[in-house]
């Protein structure tokens, strides 16, 4: 199989390396808006570098992986669809609902597959949580708490293109809450703080946020996110029901120290970032994409899933800006 990777930054170079190791991937072609970056990654993983996206699409590919900056996703999805190629795209599809719908229309018209990169669906802990909820182990689920904490802000240039903390980070929590619980978010109330570095205020973004999400069965979800968690990279979910309580992401590398007497010492090797914490999940989602392209497995996360998560993230952003609860049905 010949796969093209568009965008060879932080996550694109990681995906390129994973694909280069995949036994079903015979050839890899990479391209980036910065051709020198594409050439460097091609050299590292043993891929061909194309000078631009048009050249990449002309290289007889079976599929493409889109890992460019978010602002380019929708257009690249449409180009892949018009070329008749199945695509895997990093989240989100676009920064707004109209852009997302335009990209999805191009995919529908072409009849191609689009898989979105919500990798938490491939993480062992979240998969176990989904099974536990479905098996009734928690009894009546009433409370979910999620945390997404980055150890440090991304590069300043990334922020204005990211869509903000809700669309960029909290969208992962929204997706995994929907996937684990099988419920839809109906209303949100969100707040944000930009008291950290000036780069957040300059980008109109916040460095820390909290949202209260209400699910369609009344389950309450609190979702917190920050770009400034000095202790390390911390992504967790806690689920509480009237029979049991479970946690995802609580292990010997969780950057959290208990102050109770006789509790374990701080983790000696806290998770440093998303690439380390979710490495097996990123590999598994690309393996699922390869199987989708080969016609061996269904699409594990299609464009409608991304649209649903985006609408909730956008409702959070509106709630933060307008300082009021927002019904998700408002986001059309």
Residues that bind ligand NAD in the complex, under the rule CB under 6 A = 6-12, 32-34, 37, 53, 67-70, 72, 90-91, 117, 119, 158, 168, 274
> Nearer Cβ to ligand NAD, position 202 or 216?
202
Which neighbouring-strand residues pair with 208?
193, 226
Residue 128 corresponds to which tokens in the numbers above? 């176990």
Q: How far is the CB of 28 from ligand NAD (least distance, A)?
A: 15
Query: Would you say 74 and 163 are in contact if contact means Cβ atoms under 8 Å apart?
Result: no
> Nearer Cβ to ligand NAD, position 10 or 253?
10
* Nearest C-alpha neighbor of 64 from the set 25, 21, 9, 109: 25
Q: Where are the alpha helices (DSSP H) in 215-332?
A: 274-277, 279-293, 303-322
Q: In angstroms, rounded to a whole number, what is the distance separating the alpha carbons of residues 203 and 171?
A: 19
Cα angle vertex 264, ends 126, 131, to 5°? 15
Cα angle vertex 74, ends 209, 324, to 5°? 30
Q: In angstroms, rounded to a whole number, what is the distance separating the alpha carbons of residues 64 and 86?
A: 7
Query: Would you say 288 and 300 are in contact if contact means Cβ atoms under 8 Å apart?
Result: yes
> Nearer Cβ to ligand NAD, position 89 or 107?
89
> Nearer Cβ to ligand NAD, position 74 or 239?
74
Q: In angstroms, rounded to a whole number, what is the distance separating the alpha carbons of residues 19 and 45?
A: 9
Exposed/middle/buried for 30, CB within 10 Å: 0-12, 13-18, 19+?
Answer: buried
> Nearer Cβ to ligand NAD, position 187 or 234?
234
Q: How far is the CB of 314 from ligand NAD (least distance, A)?
A: 15
Q: How far is the CB of 50 from ligand NAD (least distance, A)?
A: 10
Q: How far is the CB of 72 from ligand NAD (least distance, A)?
A: 3
- Maximum Cα interatomic distance, the chain, rounded to a whole number of Å: 63
Q: How far is the CB of 221 from ligand NAD (least distance, A)?
A: 20
> Nearer Cβ to ligand NAD, position 239 or 286?
286
Residue with smallest beta-carbon separation from ligand NAD:
9
Q: How far is the CB of 154 from ligand NAD (least distance, A)?
A: 7
> Nearer Cβ to ligand NAD, position 80 or 221?
80
Residue 96 corresponds to which tokens in the numbers above? 């707004």
Q: How far is the CB of 20 from ligand NAD (least distance, A)?
A: 17
């Amino acid at each position: 199989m010949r796969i093209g990777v568009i965008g060879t930054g932080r996550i694109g170079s990681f995906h390129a390396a994973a694909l280069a190791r995949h036994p079903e991937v015979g050839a890899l072609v990479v391209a980036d808006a910065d051709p020198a970056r594409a050439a460097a990654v091609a050299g590292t993983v043993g891929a061909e570098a194309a000078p631009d996206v048009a050249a990449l699409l002309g290289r007889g590919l079976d599929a493409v992986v889109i890992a460019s900056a978010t602002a380019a996703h929708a257009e690249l999805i449409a180009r892949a669809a018009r070329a008749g190629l199945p695509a895997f795209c990093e989240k989100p599809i676009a920064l707004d609902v109209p852009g997302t719908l335009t990209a999805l229309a191009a995919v529908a018209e072409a009849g191609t597959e689009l898989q979105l990169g919500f990798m938490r669906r491939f993480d062992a802990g979240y998969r176990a949580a989904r099974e536990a909820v479905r098996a009734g182990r928690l009894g009546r689920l009433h409370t979910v708490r999620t945390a997404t904490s980055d150890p440090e802000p991304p590069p300043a240039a990334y922020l204005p293109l990211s869509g903000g903390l809700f669309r960029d980070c909290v969208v992962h929590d929204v997706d995994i809450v929907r996937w684990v619980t099988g419920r839809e978010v109906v209303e949100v109330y969100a707040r944000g703080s930009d008291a950290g570095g000036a780069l957040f205020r300059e980008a109109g973004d916040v460095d820390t946020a909290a949202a209260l999400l209400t699910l369609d069965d009344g389950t309450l979800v609190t979702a917190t996110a920050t770009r400034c968690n000095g202790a390390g990279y911390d992504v967790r979910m806690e689920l509480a029901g009237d029979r049991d309580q479970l946690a995802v992401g609580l292990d010997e590398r969780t950057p959290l120290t208990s102050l109770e007497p006789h509790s374990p010492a701080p983790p000696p090797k806290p998770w440093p970032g998303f690439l380390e914490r979710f490495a097996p999940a990123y590999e598994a989602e690309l393996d699922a994409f390869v199987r989708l392209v080969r016609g061996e497995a269904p699409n594990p996360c299609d464009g409608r899933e991304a649209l649903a998560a985006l609408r909730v993230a956008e409702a959070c952003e509106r709630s933060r800006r307008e300082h009021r609860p927002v019904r998700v049905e408002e986001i059309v």
